[in-house]
Structure formats: structure tokens, C-alpha cells
Amino acid sequence: MCPLANKKRIYVKDIIGRHLALRHLADKLFDNIDLLKDTAVIIDFHSVHTTSRSFMQQFLYRLKNSDSHITYINESENIRKMVDIVSSPKKKPVIVNPNSESVLNLDYLALNTSTTHNAEEGDLMSLQKREVYYLTPT
């Protein structure tokens, strides 16, 4: 007996469509699942071609916080890649704004310390100012 046989199957393409773009569509999918009152659900991505990052972020958030036991199957290569992208934590740069005219990217400066650690203080400030102009929106 297949462990998936007793689960209620939800076809994403029938509820949302073949292209998953917006966060509220993930909410719509999980709202439909919540109405089932089933604790065992299969989300079937058969014939779904694309997903956006925002849809997948909301999908994974709702999946993690769901009271149902949910399995998803038949995800395309594009869906798998987006799950990997969203699931992989990325370090965001540390940006400081010491005053209203400048912004410093501390991560960039830390990565480039080998080129600046022997520099005179004035040279380091010059490098920081060049980077500020690069980071400041125009």
C-alpha cells in the first residue's frame, strides 16, 4: 500500500494555474487546504511551469506553519530551483549610514581589507568615499 494513497490530492494548476506569481496565490492554495479539514494532503505541481520567488517564499512559509501533513510532488526543475533559492539563507550586506550624505558597505570593506590594510588613513577614506558614490542611489 502506497503511503500517499490515503491523502487528499490538490492539483495546483486547477486552483491557481500553471504560472505561480504572487504571494496571495500561495495563501489561496493553503486556504483551500485548510477548508478540507484533512490532516494528510498532497500538493501536486503537475503541469505547473514557473514560480516567482515571492510565491515560493509564501508557499514555504505556509507549508512550515500548516497543521496538516503536506507532501508536494511532481515539481518541475524550475520549481525545485526556486525552492532551493528561497530555502538557502543568504547573508545580507551590513550597510551603515553615518550621516545623511554617505553610506558605507561594511561587508565590502571587510572583503577588501587585504588591499587597504596597509593604506594610510586618508587612502582608506578615499576608498570608502568611492564606494559610497557607487552605493548611493542617484
Per-domain residue ranges of the chain: 8-87, 95-135
pLDDT band at 113 (very low <50, low <70, confident <90, very high): low
DSSP letters spanning 3-55: TTTTSEEEEHHHHT-SEE--HHHHHHHHHHHHHHT-SEEEEE-TT--EE-HHH
Greater confidence, 22 or 116?
22
- Asked whether residue 51 carries a pLDDT value surpassing 90, the answer given is yes
97-113 mean pLDDT: 66
Where b means 16+ CB within 10 Å and e means fewer, 4-37 reads eeebeebebeeebeeebeebebbeebbeebeeee
pLDDT band at 19 (very low <50, low <70, confident <90, very high): very high
Q: Provide the whole-model pTM.
A: 0.62
- Dihedrals φ, ψ of 5, to 5°? -65, -35
